[in-house]
């Protein structure tokens, strides 16, 4: 039987998980999916994710892949997985792809979304960061332009990472205000960041800086200095992970 390579598109609510990456004695999304595949195929199946996600962060169209010898069709695998996964994880699609496809190494760009709530609401308790302070969204947009392009983002990499090359390219940052569809009294700020890749907690650290700028705590010259000095101690604290979503990857 010939080995096949399958790409899966996964949505997950991250509240109860320590991120995607499998860790010893931790509840993770990867661990849950590999356990479900083991039940289906009766042997261990290694799943490659397109990248790590922070504890309590979420996935909208998270991409992973695995190789297995099987006669099952993609739709059958999708249905079997969803029958065994908890309700907080849903496989949206299963696609057979060429053998050389790798969810992480084949990715060209990744897009993250962050949601900020400007009013308190119980409906977004686990999915948005409630910002009490008044914020200038136009100032946030102005500061975000400093991140566009190829830069050394060492100032925005949190401790705990052993990555030496901290240069990344940011292609686009889109910041918009919308009303929450369940309760139109609640305004949201939605930030989409598209880049070649991201360092540990880089997105959350960048957004923390944008919020500091939008609430008048730092000015544009200070943000320029933070980028140039490559010193994490100079940058504002990160925003909570619960408002962070892996949106999708481009291949």
Residue-level pLDDT at 205: 97
Instruction: Classify domain 109-250 by CATH architecture.
Output: 2-Layer Sandwich (3.30)
List pLDDT tens digits, range 46-59: 999 999 999 999 99
| Average of per-residue pLDDT across 187-196 | 98
Give the integer Cα–Cα distance in Å for 109 and 195: 6
Give the integer Cα–Cα distance in Å for 11 and 241: 16
* Active site amino acids: 54
Under 8 Å between Cβ of 137 and 175: yes
Q: What is the CATH T-level fold of the domain 3-97, as seen in this structure?
A: Alpha-Beta Plaits (3.30.70)
Q: What are the two backbone dihedrals, phi and then psi, of residue 73, each rounded to the nearest 5 degrees? A: -85, 155
What is the CA angle 221-168-153, rounded to 5? 40
pLDDT higher than 90, residue 159:
no
SS3 113: strand
Residue-level pLDDT at 32: 98
CATH 3.30.70.580 location in the chain? 3-97
| Average of per-residue pLDDT across 20-35 | 95
pLDDT higher than 90, residue 106:
yes
Q: Residue 24 CB: number of other CB atoms within 10 A? A: 5
CATH 3.30.70.660 location in the chain? 109-250
Residue-level pLDDT at 158: 86
| Summary mean pLDDT of the chain | 96
- To the nearest 10°, report the CA torsion of 208, 109, 242, 128: 80
Give the integer Cα–Cα distance in Å for 193 and 86: 29
Using alpha carbons, list the distances in angstroms from residue 46 to 8, 31, 205, 247: 13, 10, 31, 23
Nearest to 93 by CA among 59, 52, 62: 62
SS (H, E, C) 187-240: EEEEEEEEECCCCCCHHHHHHHHHHHHHCCCCCHHHHHHHHHHCCHHHCCCCCC
| Average of per-residue pLDDT across 200-215 | 96
**Which token pair is 59?**
């996935």
């Amino acid at each position: 039987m010939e080995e096949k390579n399958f790409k899966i598109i996964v949505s997950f609510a991250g509240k109860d998980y320590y991120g995607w990456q499998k860790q010893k004695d931790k509840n993770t999304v990867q661990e849950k999916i590999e356990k479900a595949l083991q039940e289906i195929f009766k042997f261990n199946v290694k799943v490659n994710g397109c990248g790590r996600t922070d504890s309590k962060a979420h996935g909208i169209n998270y991409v992973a892949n695995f190789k297995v010898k099987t006669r099952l069709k993609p739709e059958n695998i999708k249905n079997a997985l969803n029958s065994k996964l908890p309700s907080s994880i849903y496989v949206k699609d299963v696609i057979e792809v060429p053998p050389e496809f790798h969810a992480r190494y084949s990715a060209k760009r990744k897009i993250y979304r962050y949601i900020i709530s400007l009013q308190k609401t119980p409906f977004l308790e686990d999915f948005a960061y409630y910002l009490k302070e008044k914020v200038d969204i136009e100032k946030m947009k102005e500061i975000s332009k400093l991140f566009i392009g190829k830069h050394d983002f060492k100032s925005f990499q949190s401790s705990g990472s052993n990555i030496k090359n901290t240069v990344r390219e940011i292609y686009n940052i889109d910041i918009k205000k919308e009303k929450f569809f369940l309760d139109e009294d609640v305004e949201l700020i939605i930030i989409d960041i598209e880049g070649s890749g991201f360092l540990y907690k880089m997105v959350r650290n960048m957004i923390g800086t944008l919020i500091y700028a939008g609430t008048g705590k730092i000015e544009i010259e200070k943000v320029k200095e933070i980028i140039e000095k490559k010193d994490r101690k100079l940058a504002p604290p990160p925003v909570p992970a619960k408002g962070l979503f892996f949106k999708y990857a481009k291949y």
